[in-house]
Amino acid sequence: MIIAVDGPAASGKGSIARALAAHYGLPHLDTGLLYRAVGLSVARAGGNADDPHDAVAACDFPESLLMDTELRNEASGALASRVSIHPQVRAALIQRQRDFAMQPGGAVLDGRDIGTVIAPGASAKLFVIASPEVRADRRLNEMHRNGMEADRDAIIADIRARDDRDMNRDHAPLKQAEGADLLDTSNLTIDAAVRQAISLVDAQLDRRSKE
């Protein structure tokens, strides 16, 4: 069984996907990490994330890069959003994601195009959203916990810019997949969001089993 979880930055999709994987006993892939690894590789090689040649050259990054803590920072997120525009980059990463999804027993994947492109036939699909202000506050709290200071307005602006780029790109834009249930986490604690996610997935699995 494949569970596809898509949504914008800081919507809660990563935490929800991890919790779903634990609940259903499935492996989990955070596909954003792959794009972050490409973005960070380009930057470290002194390349330009907006240049498709530089970005494609960075797609065979070493596996060990996926453990690098620098991937988690805002700069890597912004670089990821820039390299992910290039269709050649998306094509270079597609097989790896499909192989993960198709492993025996299934998997949970989270990202921007899991339900639309990577696994359109997924057993269950969620589209997780939250307001930009709530998402900015989550990012701020996360940064404060890590001892970093940040300006709330700058974070809101960054989130809006990333949404705009992710939703309006020509290839695999961020959008609710056909058959995906919408889950708005703006006013939910993470525990409540996970409970709702599990009941939505259970209902989709139940519907599918009767088809």
186: its two tokens: 């703006």
User: Is 42 within 8 Å of 79 (Cβ atoms)?
Assistant: yes
The binder of ligand CDP chosen from 9, 56, 58, 193 (CB under 6 A) = 9
Least distance CB 186 / ligand CDP (angstroms): 16
Environment class of 131 (CB within 10 Å of its CB; exposed 0-12, middle 13-18, buried 19+): middle
Least distance CB 143 / ligand CDP (angstroms): 12
Instruction: Check binding of 158 to ligand CDP (CB under 6 A).
Output: no
* Contacts (CB under 6 A) with ligand CDP, residues 56-75: none
Least distance CB 173 / ligand CDP (angstroms): 9
Using alpha carbons only, what angle is made at residue 66 by residues 149 and 150, rounded to the nearest 5 degrees? Answer: 10
Instruction: Check binding of 132 to ligand CDP (CB under 6 A).
Output: no
Instruction: Check binding of 14 to ligand CDP (CB under 6 A).
Output: yes
Q: Strand 107-111 and strand 2-6: pairing?
A: parallel
Instruction: Check binding of 115 to ligand CDP (CB under 6 A).
Output: no
User: Is 27 within 8 Å of 108 (Cβ atoms)?
Assistant: yes
Instruction: Check binding of 36 to ligand CDP (CB under 6 A).
Output: yes
Across the beta sheet with 2-6, the strand order is 28-30, 107-111, 2-6, 124-129, 181-184
Least distance CB 162 / ligand CDP (angstroms): 5
Instruction: Check binding of 77 to ligand CDP (CB under 6 A).
Output: yes
Residues in contact with ligand CDP by the rule CB under 6 A: 9-10, 14, 31-32, 35-36, 77, 80-81, 84, 111-113, 162, 166
